[in-house]
Amino acid sequence: MPTSTITINPVTRIEGHAKITIQLDEKGIAQDARFHVNEFRGFEKFCEGRVLWEMGGITSRICGICPTSHLVTSAKAGDAILSVTIPETAQALRRIITLAQWLQSHALSFFHLSSPDFLLGFDSDPAKRNIFGLIASDKEFAKRGIRLRKFGQEIIEVLGSRRIHTPWAVAGGVREPLEPAKRDYLLNWIPEAKETARLALDTLKKIHVKFEKDIPNYGNFRSLYVGLVAPDGALEYYDGTLRVMDGDGNIIADKVNPSDFHEYFGEATEEWSYLKFPYYKPLGYAKGMYRVGPLARVNICDYIDTPLAEAERKQFKALAGGASVVNNSFYYHYARLIEILFSVEKIEQLLQDPVTMGQNIRAKAMINQLHGIGASEAPRGTLFHDYTVTEDALLSRVDLVIATAQNNLAMNRTVRQLALQYLDGAKVTEGLLNRIEAGIRCFDPCLSCSTHAIGMMPLHVQVVGPENNVLCDVRR
């Protein structure tokens, strides 16, 4: 039985509210760790009764960071309900905006949220361990990060006429084609974006050396990995089929139609969190723990079809030593930067493709199926929108399976591993707190999406004894 509990509430620099509880045994050793998410917005419920055509606009409001992922995935669920194959121009444009979403979200994660830890140090003054501290340390690096994210936002704004909550992707395609002048404007950004992606990768490799003693403790364990791959096994972000790989690199399920997701994956709940616990059904809960997102995608794909990113993928794979899977969650950061580089390269390719400039952008149809599932790779992992509609296009059931939730079991495991390594009795140090937070930030969780919660509070840590008496109370 645990004899005391350490609570970190909430976690800073992630999107949304969360609390971490570490349960200690009589000897003060971490027995268990729980990453609680204690907010609930109920998006799935209040979407019921709305009209299918509104769903892109509604679900994109779930999150201010990845609204475009919800928009595109919602449109894909709509495609399934209309039973249409969208025009190739519409698909190319949706691909570009999906990559723009990766770009801006990954840039935010690396430059704004995680870099202060890396460049200033986990034990540096918390008051300075933020973007202003980063500016003071390396102004040009901080500016580069802001510009890279801006490029992603510019693409979304140019395509969708708005930076956030654009209603541009719709069931059947997209609303507007891309004008040549706008394409040229976006192409002008490419050299700077590539240079920044390279700078970030070079910086991260130095960070790997600097933190070589810390890195093995950041969620370093075998798990399953899940994501979309292209028909030829290439890294996929918009379409494709699901692949499940184990922690030794064995492909245990492949070519799974995303519409069959519920046959392979279940969602467990726990009374102490609003965040669900998805798992791979054949292995059961919680043995079926899996990871999604950049680490999973770069692990499971056979190759990346852009040259610079593919060269980096090979270096990434070398981190596994003789094995074929990189199981350390710290390398989410590396995979994220590889995906930034890939996004820039792929966006350039797509913008230069004449198909992208076509004028046939939308297939129109009425309701032809009463059920449809859309799937795409959001920045944090595979995103599913599962809709059931009436013949009048009213939503009767909505199930949103979010990337952050799919990493829930792995995030809990990561926190436990860090607590075992760094926790000394019930003494809570800033360094310990920030390492645990940094462990969670490897996954770049978006609680706004996963529970549809929104908000932010300062850090609060409590150590609670067996009689629920507060042994230690730390606030940042």
Partner 1 sequence: MRSTLVIGIGNTIRGDDGAGIRVAERIAARHTDVDVLCVQQLSPEHADTIARYDRLIVVDASVTADAVRVTPLHAAEGMHMPRTHTVTPEGVLTLTSTLYDHVPSEAMLVEIPASQCGFTEELSPSTAAFAATALGIISRHVTEN
Asked if 164 is part of the footprint of partner 1 (rule: CB under 8 A), the reply reads yes
- Least CB distance to partner 1 at residue 153 (A): 6
Q: Which of 2, 88, 123, 165 binds partner 1 (CB under 8 A)?
A: 165
Cis peptide bond prior to 278, omega within 30° of 0: no
Does residue 229 bind partner 1 (CB under 8 A)? Answer: no
Instruction: Tell me if 14 contacts partner 1 by CB under 8 A.
Output: yes
- Taking contact as CB under 8 A, which single stretch among the options 20-28, 135-143, 172-180, 350-358 is the one that binds partner 1? 135-143
Calpha distance 70→97 (Å, rounded): 12
- Do 374 and 74 meet the contact criterion of CB atoms below 8 Å apart? yes
What is the SS3 assignment for 182?
A: helix
Q: For partner 1, which stretch binds (CB under 8 A), given 148-156, 215-223, 225-233, 326-334?
A: 148-156
Assess 61 for contact with partner 1 (CB under 8 A).
yes
Quick one: 58 or 72, whose CB is closer to partner 1? 58
Burial of 468 (0-12, 13-18, 19+ CB in 10 A): exposed
Of 187, 252, 456, 470, which one interacts with partner 1 (CB under 8 A)? Answer: 456
From the list 73-81, 146-154, 263-271, 421-429, the region that binds partner 1 by CB under 8 A is 146-154
**Residue position matching structure tokens 């109370």:** 473
User: Considering the rule CB under 8 A, would residue 262 count as an interface residue with partner 1?
Assistant: no
Nearer to partner 1, 300 or 446 (CB): 446
How many whole angstroms separate alpha carbon 98 and alpha carbon 297?
15
CB of 191 to partner 1, least distance (A): 17
**Would you say 229 and 302 are in contact if contact means Cβ atoms under 8 Å apart?**
yes
Candidate residues 84, 146, 283, 320; the one interacting with partner 1 per rule CB under 8 A: 146
Least separation in angstroms between CB 94 and partner 1: 21
- 410: nearest Cα among 252, 298, 275: 275
| Stretch near partner 1 under the rule CB under 8 A, chosen from 107-115, 192-200, 204-212, 364-372 | 107-115
Residue span binding partner 1 (CB under 8 A) among the ranges 88-96, 161-169, 252-260, 359-367: 161-169
Question: Quick one: which segment of 60-68, 69-77, 187-195, 267-275 binds partner 1 (CB under 8 A)?
Answer: 60-68
Q: Could you tell me which stretch among 159-167, 200-208, 211-219, 304-312 binds partner 1 (CB under 8 A)?
A: 159-167
Please check whether residue 443 is in contact with residue 380, taking contact to mean a CB–CB distance below 8 angstroms: yes
13 makes contact with partner 1 (CB under 8 A)? yes
Pick the closer one to partner 1 by CB: 192 or 353. Answer: 192
Using CB under 8 A, which of 124, 130, 220, 259 touches partner 1? 130
How are the residues of the chain apportioned to helix, strand and coil, as percentages rounded to the nearest 5? Answer: 45, 20, 35
Closer residue to partner 1 in complex, CB, 39/310 = 39
CB of 228 to partner 1, least distance (A): 25
Is 380 or 416 the residue whose CB approaches partner 1 more closely? 380
Angle at 336 between CA 335 and CA 337, to 5 degrees: 90
Which residues face 36 on adjacent strands?
19
Q: Determine, following the binding rule CB under 8 A, whether residue 340 of this chain makes contact with partner 1.
A: no
Question: Which of residues 29, 51, 136, 323 is near partner 1 by CB under 8 A?
Answer: 136
Residues contacting 455, CB < 8 A, separation 6+: 16, 17, 39
Q: What does residue 35 show for φ and ψ, rounded to 5 degrees?
A: -100, 95
Total of residues contacting partner 1 (CB under 8 A): 34
194 binds partner 1 per the rule CB under 8 A: no
Q: Is 141 helix (H, G, I), strand (E, B) or coil?
A: helix
Does position 49 interact with partner 1 (CB under 8 A)? The reply is no
Kindly report the backbone phi and psi dihedral angles of residue 178, in degrees, each rounded to the nearest multiple of 5, phi listed first: -100, 130
Least CB distance from residue 108 to partner 1, whole Å? 6
128 touches partner 1 by CB under 8 A: yes
Q: Shortest approach of partner 1 to residue 268 CB, angstroms?
A: 28
Instruction: Please tell me the total number of residues recorded for the chain in this structure.
Output: 476
Question: Contacting partner 1 (CB under 8 A), which of 33, 142, 171, 459?
Answer: 142
Burial of 335 (0-12, 13-18, 19+ CB in 10 A): buried
**What DSSP line would sit under 83-135, residue for residue?**
T-PPPHHHHHHHHHHHHHHHHHHHHIIIIIIIHHHHHH-TTS-TTTSSHHHHH
Measured from the CB of residue 7, what is the shortest distance to partner 1 in angstroms? 21
User: Which residue reads 């939308």 in tokens?
Assistant: 362
Number of helices (H), then strands (E), belonging to the chain: the values are 17, 16
What is the closest distance, in whole angstroms, from the C-beta atom of residue 78 to partner 1 in the complex?
Answer: 18
State which of residues 1, 127, 209, 318 lies at the interface with partner 1 (CB under 8 A).
Answer: 127
Q: Is 427 in the site for partner 1 (CB under 8 A)?
A: no
Token pair of 433 as six digits: 């707190």
| 450 CB-near residues (< 8 Å, 6+ apart) | 16, 37, 275, 276, 402, 403, 404, 405, 408
**Residues of the shown chain interacting with partner 1 in the complex, contacts defined by CB under 8 A:** 12-15, 46, 57-58, 61, 64-65, 108, 112-113, 127-128, 130-133, 135-136, 139, 142-143, 146-147, 149-150, 153, 162-165, 456
